[in-house]
Chain A
Amino acid sequence: MTLPSPGHIHFWLSGALLLLGLYGMLASPHLVRKLMGMNIMQTAIIVFFLTLAAKTDATFPLIGQDELAPAAEGYVNPLPHALMLTAIVVGVSTTGVALALVIRIHRHFGTLEEPELLAKLRE
């Protein structure tokens, strides 16, 4: 077991955020809070990817037209950002579908607390 080194602190932080989200999904009895836990977990992964792109002493990945083979060290890696844009879209759609389901559950069962919901399901 190595202690977190200062250079890797962002990995530990995103890991902590991920576990926080998972814990929220497991521990909270309320469906909307579970959903919030899920969103926190997804955000942790987005943060993880974005920190991969970061570089010190680098600038925006905007390349002039004449510059054919730029030195990659000078630019921030744009790919993780592009990937996470897609992941954010996925997260938004998942949340949207989940909220629609939550509304239908609430309309039919009149509750979003899991213990009450389970009791009604058993009937």
Chain B
Amino acid sequence: MNAHLPVLLVVVPLLAAAIIPLVAFRSARLARGVALATLAVTVTIAYAALGRALEVGVIRYHLGGWPPPWGIEYVIDPLAGGMAVLIASFALIAAVYAGPFLATVPRRGAGGFHAIYLLLVTGLLGMTVTGDLFNLYVFLEISSLAVYALIALGGPLGVVASFRYLLLGTVAGSFYLLGIGYLYALTGTLNMADMVIRLAPLGDSPGVSVGVALIVVGLAIKMALFPLHGWLPDAYTFAPAPVTGFVAAVMTKVGAYAMFRILFFVVTPAAVASDVLVLLGWAAALAVIAGSAMALAQTNVHRMLAYSSVGQMGYIVMGIAIGTPLALTGALLHILNHAVMKGCLFLTAGGVLFRTGASDVAGYAGVARRLPLGMAAFAIAAASLVGLPPTGGFFSKWYLLLAAVDSGLWPFALALVASSLMTAVYLFRVIERSYFAEAPDPARPPSPLRELPAGMLAPIILLAVSTLLIGILNQSIVTHVIAFALPVPGGR
């Protein structure tokens, strides 16, 4: 059983995705039950896999019994296990949240939604556990195709956003595939562990440089690294709330994970890797500033949070680019933190839209009186995004700031601080409005419905509490999990 954990992580949601549309023919409620149960099982498997990877060591699974480098290998080390836990847990949280939202769509649609949602989860989990570069491409496309369909559920504007994302996402996937083609042509292998060995004698060959550059650009589009973030704001603004919550929390992070994996675990012998990191660092510094500045200019809360994600991805990439253990710790912790806090913010914003129909900052006037718990969660997550102690966001930013100062990269440190200030401005604008402004139309009878339905509120509160818990427990998360996820000289 334990030996099969890596493959179960992918097979369980994949099979459920195939079964759910059939179940939905009989009963949409049963289909939802199957989806939630599957996700709960997936979370359990992910935790078991992470636990085993931390206790016993790296789990390797050879698909079909073919040993690598000939066959495809699934590998769960603490890094992949940690990402899998994050993805699976978040998938469950967002699926619970989707309940009240799905009550508003036609019943037949619910089965399709859950099936595609599970395909997205399959793709993302596959990207984290695979030890094969081409297999990563396949899972990248599975998750992308699923997410195009989910974004298109957000009405006509969602369809247009989805089509644009599809064009850009396919360019990204194709660049990645072409980069793999270069590396394959030079080394004759697609297995990540084997690639490390075979790239070493090639050193500084221009073919390797082209391959790595194409892979990095492809993944940078997927993770919406400034200035390749064009698809993100529309997609996040118009997608249905549970989809935005999940995608904003996890999907771009998986792109960052893939880039981290490839730059630090696969192409490390190539001299080009360090040049790429220098470039990425400056792109990230720009992203941190530009993302926050663009968020400042938005009046739509969803769009503001979307641009904020562009900035926050910059934090993660900056940590990866600085590359010291301290910086990587900060980057990995920020992957976790940003998932939890941005997920919470998007889910709350979706809840406000669901309950009051407001999506503009102006429309948030007096919202805190109608959704006291929801907006309290929003405020906690916002504090974390700004980086106020004792929330989780403070600690990851602190690690990144220390790492930037330690490495003498003062412009990076400056960008981090400036961006935090801007974050404070654009988020406190929303909070101020929702707590201290009067509702615009006091004559209108107040809606009898206060607060959000329990199915939506519980995930939001869970995430807000997690933000605080991660802050309080950050020391043990770093020493017990993240420390083992960092690259060690000598490979995986």
**Interface residue tally for chain B (C-beta within 8 Å):** 25
Name the CB-closest residue of A to B155.
Answer: A108
Q: Which chain A residues lie closer than 8 Å to B171 at the CB level?
A: 22, 25, 38, 41
- Determine how close the nearest CB of chain A comes to the CB of B169; give it in whole angstroms: 9
Name the CB-closest residue of A to B70.
Answer: A79
**In the complex the two chains form, is A121's CB within 8 Å of B178's CB?**
no
Q: Which chain B residues lie closer than 8 Å to A105 at the CB level?
A: 156, 159-160, 163
A20 within 8 A of B: no
Q: Which chain A residues lie closer than 8 Å to B159 at the CB level?
A: 101, 104-105, 108
A18 within 8 A of B: yes
| Contacts known (A104-B152, A104-B159, A105-B159); A98 close to B166, Cβ less than 8 A | yes
| Contacts known (A94-B145, A97-B149); A45 close to B167, Cβ less than 8 A | no
**In the complex the two chains form, is B157's CB within 8 Å of A121's CB?**
yes
Pick from B134, B137, B156, B184: contact of A104, CB below 8 A.
B156
Main secondary structure of the interface of A (DSSP, over half): helix
Name the CB-closest residue of A to B159.
Answer: A104
**In the complex the two chains form, is B156's CB within 8 Å of A108's CB?**
yes
Pick from B149, B163, B181: contact of A31, CB below 8 A.
B163
**In the complex the two chains form, is B152's CB within 8 Å of A101's CB?**
yes
Interface size class for chain A?
20 to 34
**In the complex the two chains form, is A86's CB within 8 Å of B156's CB?**
no
Pick from B137, B167, B178: contact of A18, CB below 8 A.
B178
B177 within 8 A of A: yes
Choose among A86, A97, A101 the residue with the greatest number of B CB atoms under 10 Å from its CB. Answer: A101
- Determine how close the nearest CB of chain A comes to the CB of B213; give it in whole angstroms: 14
- Determine how close the nearest CB of chain A comes to the CB of B175; give it in whole angstroms: 9
B174 within 8 A of A: yes
Binding site for B on A (CB under 8 A): 18, 22, 25, 31, 34-35, 38, 41-42, 45, 48-49, 52, 80, 83, 86-87, 90, 93-94, 97-98, 101-102, 104-105, 108-109, 117, 121
17 more CB-based (< 8 A) A-B contacts, given A41-B174, A90-B137, A117-B160: A25-B167, A25-B171, A34-B167, A38-B167, A41-B171, A49-B181, A86-B138, A93-B145, A94-B141, A94-B145, A98-B163, A101-B152, A104-B152, A105-B156, A105-B163, A108-B159, A121-B160
